[in-house]
Structure 1
């Protein structure tokens, strides 16, 4: 039997691996990156928090030139961002990057737990090694580039549905609800709960989101009216929807499809078809007792069905890879995971835009590359469908366990 390493030794090795792995990315985006593009998204959150402190209109304030980015999130996100005002912007960029790496590592430890269980007692170190390629996935590294929140949203939703219930986690859905109050896209899990008839989780999630939203409205009534009464419905606040960075179904159709009513009808049809497939897959994963594939499938719905889904929103692909890998014993699943990993490691959309801009031969291939992350999301759905079994005996056992959890009283 392999002797268990000391926790302190494992901790030091984990930190060393993660720091060394992230160093090239951090050096590129935090040291050599142009100052006027430095951590532009975390700056949006920080400026919103500063607006709360100084009493400025949150949704009228822009970040410094040349970005001039507005705050596009619910007022609760501005309140959650208040600790950002306690440190300088430069220090915040480094702290935020470290937090994103830690969140990605925590996500890997949960999502790849079936694989990591095979390498006890070194699972913590093995988790760090698995995290290394995940940090270099373009959606994840772009999160570091911009100072985004996606790593935290993915971790919150995954932990909510994949971690066991206990004294500090009595009801599923609460963390998803709070994540939705910060950024609306996790609200897609509410649809999943309804499809699965998981009324307890749906109620908990909606209540958590509503409580956070009402609390923010009491503190910031004018900002609440400004967001729900105007800023939310203004697509121009999100940036150029037709740009290559928008890898949602709508983004692809804006670039390739018809305009006007015909384009809208085509998008709604695509949303209906992909939504039915995606939510059916998520329900199938839930009934089969596979929460990793379940959260991965719903996460893909959050990006594919959204009107706008930037490249960094595809941070859910970490869960897709974990769900495909499983326990690492199935060679076919490893091949599937390798395909998705390679797909999202490559900067395919930017290769495509270069191809189109230079008018190289076989222009249609450049267009495919330009829209490849949306296509990669659809491919991920197809591969997950191949590996998620229909509910069998094991799935029924998992369903019985979950049903018993749902029947527990709130105060139990």
Structure 2
């Protein structure tokens, strides 16, 4: 049995032929060109940010649009798109999204020492692009979630190499654009890496304050956007939110009960992440990844909004570690959770776009339960032996052969 597993692992790590590269390139290129030909702005969500940048250039408040849910730093980051010709932006944005997802996948592979030329690397990315619907959705929308999908694997790669402050700066830079990765700062708290925590907090704070001072409405994020996020009362947006706090009321559960249930689930997820960090079972890289992923899944359970493309922040990281014994991606429930995300599969009563949130919620909840179970098991295996790392010792740097 072990010999067979080693043989399969060896086959996956062999370099691919040029045919596989051609197939992968064709898939990614087709996705980019399709978006570029269909819309003039590189995606609906990207257009929201670009309009905010255009409003700022014209002297208006970017936060007049209540669907602009980003920190002030995103306005300045979108200025280049606002001044470029639409003929360039319509292709540049989906190409940038696809390239960023490839970059994030490459960082996730490097965490586990998987060569990027291997069959596992190429076929894994091909499976994400073809068989995982949120991948195509993110390219279509041009949503800035892609910054988090690229930044989190890079930050965890720095953590695995003991470069905690660099990881904090990466997380902070991503939060300055979109605060999606804010829950990951708890990883620095678990590890007692206070300088890394300071970098993760100060970077977006400095960028946001500096950018806000250049806005005609410096407090717009706090007076308009933050109350909107806390209320979550946009009937259009709510139809696409996948968190239990948004989905359960659509099934008849009172909003207060749904929110309380989601908060309890999120709190349990944070506890599972802490337990995984305390436990030293498995490779240190796996420990780092599963702790961070559990923190993100816990946040997605209660977050408003919480969309299907948020899954691209965590799923590639889990998939890249599938070769490790005891990894989340080796559990059958991980794959069952992804079944609702198979493109082109018809689901009875769930085909209308406004009902897709039910499928996404199933994936999110099953992934969270699978990750939580894995964290508790790994955390309970060697809790006592992990005291030294919790005191602030960095994980063992990656020692396996990289690219």
Partner Cα distance (2:264, 2:328) in 1: 30
The counterpart of 1:379, out of the listed 351, 366, 376, is 366
Cα pair 2:71 2:178 within 8 Å, conserved: yes
In the alignment, is residue 227 of structure 1 matched against residue 214 of structure 2? Answer: no
In the alignment, is residue 163 of structure 1 matched against residue 155 of structure 2? Answer: no
Cα pair 1:107 1:154 within 8 Å, conserved: yes
Partner Cα distance (1:377, 1:121) in 2: 28
User: In structure 2, what is the equivalent of residue 21 of structure 1?
Assistant: 27
Q: Deviations over 1:76-125 (max 9, x none)?
A: 110111221342223223222122222222222232447663xx5833x6
Give structure 1 stretches of 5+ with no counterpart: 1-8, 63-68, 358-366, 407-412
User: In structure 2, what is the equivalent of residue 127 of structure 1?
Assistant: 121
In the alignment, is residue 403 of structure 1 matched against residue 392 of structure 2? Answer: yes
Partner Cα distance (1:59, 1:350) in 2: 38
The TM-score, its normalising length taken from structure 2, stands at 0.77
User: In structure 1, what is the equivalent of residue 79 of structure 2?
Assistant: 82
The TM-score, its normalising length taken from structure 1, stands at 0.75
Partner Cα distance (1:396, 1:155) in 2: 33
User: In structure 2, what is the equivalent of residue 30 of structure 1?
Assistant: 36
Partner Cα distance (2:103, 2:116) in 1: 17
Partner Cα distance (2:296, 2:90) in 1: 26
Displacement of 1:318:
2.1
Matches within 5 A, 1:118-197: 120=115, 122-123=117-118, 126-136=120-130, 137-164=132-159, 170-191=165-186, 193-194=188-189
User: In structure 2, what is the equivalent of residue 363 of structure 1?
Assistant: none
| Number of corresponding residues | 371
Give structure 2 stretches of 5+ with no counterpart: 1-14, 396-403
Cα pair 1:195 1:283 within 8 Å, conserved: yes
In the alignment, is residue 286 of structure 1 matched against residue 277 of structure 2? Answer: yes
Cα RMSD for the two superposed structures: 3.9
Displacement of 1:149:
1.4
Partner Cα distance (2:301, 2:345) in 1: 17
Q: Deviations over 1:367-406 (max 9, x none)?
A: 8x75122122121122223434126569957963982459
Partner Cα distance (1:208, 1:14) in 2: 40
Matches within 5 A, 1:2-401: 16-31=22-37, 33=38, 35=39, 39-60=43-64, 70-113=67-110, 117=114, 120=115, 122-123=117-118, 126-136=120-130, 137-164=132-159, 170-191=165-186, 193-194=188-189, 198-220=193-215, 222-234=216-228, 239-240=234-235, 243-259=238-254, 263-264=255-256, 266-287=257-278, 288=280, 289=284, 290-319=287-316, 321-322=318-319, 325-327=322-324, 333=330, 335-346=332-343, 352-354=349-351, 371-388=358-375, 389-390=378-379, 396=385, 400=389
Partner Cα distance (1:279, 1:331) in 2: 17
User: What SS is found at the alignment partner of 1:56?
Assistant: coil
Partner Cα distance (1:24, 1:356) in 2: 23
Partner Cα distance (2:19, 2:360) in 1: 34
User: What SS is found at the alignment partner of 2:208?
Assistant: helix
